Structure 1
Amino acid sequence: MVLNPQTLRVYLVTDPALCPGPTLIETVTAAVRGGVTFVQLRDKTASTRDRIAAARALKAALTGTDVPLVINDDLDAAVAAGVDGVHIGQEDVSLVTARKRLGPTRIVGLSCGMPEHVAAADSKLADYLGLGTVFPTSNKSDHKPTIGIDGLARLARLARVPTVAIGGLKPDHAMDVLRAGCDGIAVVSAICGQPDPERAARKLCNAISPKIEDPV
């Protein structure tokens, strides 16, 4: 599918430690009210069955918002839950397999941390690329070496599809990410686990564009 780059502008990745089951829906819906434009359900320790249940609940909560929902890594869960797509890494299922199972109209995102990853990403199969890890992050202990903003810019220049930056990013990094050539910024702890996820999302949106008012 042709993905509107603006959809990636404010990309939320969930974390079960920061927004566990009972608060997952509340956190995500509040974040969407604050301006989040894309949601990735990520839970590395859950079973496929549990991911399906969580995804179905999130999908229902997001009905009418036009905010896409993808599942991290678990293609079976994405298919079973009927969400908008899947986000895969370099060591997960292939782009060919993901596209074949999801069909032409659903979303396939791919993580890329090196120039060769970006160069090899088939623009007919991947709808967007997640570039990073930009900075160190405690939310993903097994992340690859960080690339910084300069490395991010090098990867973005090679991309043939829309891109979103990921890894240790905060609102203060938003403009640097956009100047590096990415279409959006992906965050975890900058929204998940915050006392007010809606306000945290709005702060991130304001870092990108001052058009969203932050109510007192």
Structure 2
Amino acid sequence: MELHAVTNDSLSVSELIKQIKAVEPEVDFIHIRERSKTASELVHLVKQLLAEGVPKEKLIINDRVDVALLTNIHRVHLPGHSFSPKELRQKFPHLHAGVSVHSIEEAKAAEKNGAEYVIFGHVYATACKPGRKARGIKLVEELTSALSIPVVVIGGITPDRLPELMHIDLKGIAVMSGIFTHPQPRKMAQAFSQKRKENPYEQAL
């Protein structure tokens, strides 16, 4: 089960670099999701991360295809209201694209439009979505059965909740505040990483 760490647009570029470097060894992918930062700031952030040894293959640029192209990052993640991944790859065949979805209908549309995977949420109640009802495990199970592309889930996921997700055919989990608002982000990433290793299915592979 992959572990995706998603930045939460609450840190300065310099602090974000420190935190990403700290959690990188524990995660499979790092999504740069910094909506308030300028293109110049994002390009600087990515170039600095690469210069300091963060593997290019682990970086995913959220929404900002221009930044991905300028920094030669090959993975992007698109919001549901964005253009289709199929159209994107017609222009830039080297790019890999996933899409954020919030329903089975949106997920099916994303798959039809060429998404290589979807991130679905929010699974559990989360402070990031105050007052919004969690979509729950049952809907996640229905979603994975309805799609042929991989599913990553996000929203309120904690290490203690991983066991109930492990029996579902998920590609991975994505964590935002659970890692990047924690006083010790690397320690929290390690907790997620350790818990997923306890999955008896993955140990058998």
What's the TM-score once normalised by structure 2's chain length? Answer: 0.85
Partner residue of 2:24?
32
User: Do the aligned residues in 2 keep the contact of 1:68 with 1:84 (CA within 8 Å)?
Assistant: no
Distance 1:144 1:81 in 2: 36
- 1:45 partnered with 2:33: no
Does structure 2 conserve the Cα–Cα contact (< 8 Å) formed by 1:107 and 1:127?
Answer: yes
Q: Where does structure 1 lack aligned partners over 5 or more consecutive residues? A: 1-5, 212-216
Alignment of 1:85-164 (within 5 A): 85-103=75-93, 105-122=94-111, 125-139=114-128, 146-164=134-152
Q: Equivalents in 1 of 2:148, 2:48: separation in Å?
A: 33
CA contact (8 A) 1:15 1:139 kept: no
- Conserved? CA contact 1:71–1:87, under 8 Å: yes
| Structure 1 Cα separation of the partners of residues 105 and 36 of structure 2 | 29
Measure how far apart 1:159 and its partner are.
Answer: 2.1
**What residue number does 1:74 align with?**
64
Q: Tell me the equivalent position of 2:13.
A: 21
Secondary structure, counterpart of 1:181 in structure 2: coil
1:195 is the counterpart of 2:178: no
Moved more, 131-140 or 69-78: 131-140
Q: Could you tell me whether the CA contact under 8 Å between 2:30 and 2:60 is conserved in 1?
A: yes
* CA shift in 2, pair 1:208/1:84, >3 Å: same
Shift of 1:97: 2.8
Provide the aligned length of Structure 1 versus Structure 2. 199
1:80-128 CA-partner distances (Å, limit 9, x unpaired)? 121132101111122223223431x432011121111222233783222
**Matching of residue 11 in structure 1 with residue 1 in structure 2:** no
Between the aligned partners of 1:139 and 1:122, the Cα distance in structure 2 is 26
**Cα displacement (A) at 1:140:** 5.6
**C-alpha distance in 2, partners of 1:202/1:184?**
15
* 2:47 paired residue number: 56
The share of aligned pairs that are identical, in percent, is: 25
Amino acid corresponding to residue 116 of structure 2 in structure 1 = D
User: Amino acid of the residue matched to residue 70 of structure 1?
Assistant: I
**CA RMSD, Structure 1 to Structure 2 (Å):** 2.4
| 1:42 maps to amino acid | R
Gaps of 5+ in 2: 200-205
Partner of residue 165 from structure 1, selected from 146, 150, 153: 153
Deviations 1:170-201 (A, max 9, x none): 11222222323212110012211322222211
Per the alignment, do residues 154 and 193 of structure 1 end up closer, same or farther by CA in structure 2, a change over 3 Å counting? same
Question: Residues 182 and 82 from structure 1, CA distance in 2 versus in 1: closer, same or farther, beyond 3 angstroms?
Answer: same
Verify the 8 A CA contact 1:37 1:68 in the aligned structure 2.
Answer: yes
Q: Could you report, residue by residue, the CA deviation over 1:26-53 in whole angstroms, capped at 9, with x for unpaired residues?
A: 11111122x1110100011122222222
Distance in 2, matches of 1:147 and 1:69, equals 28
Normalized per residue, which structure has more helix? 2
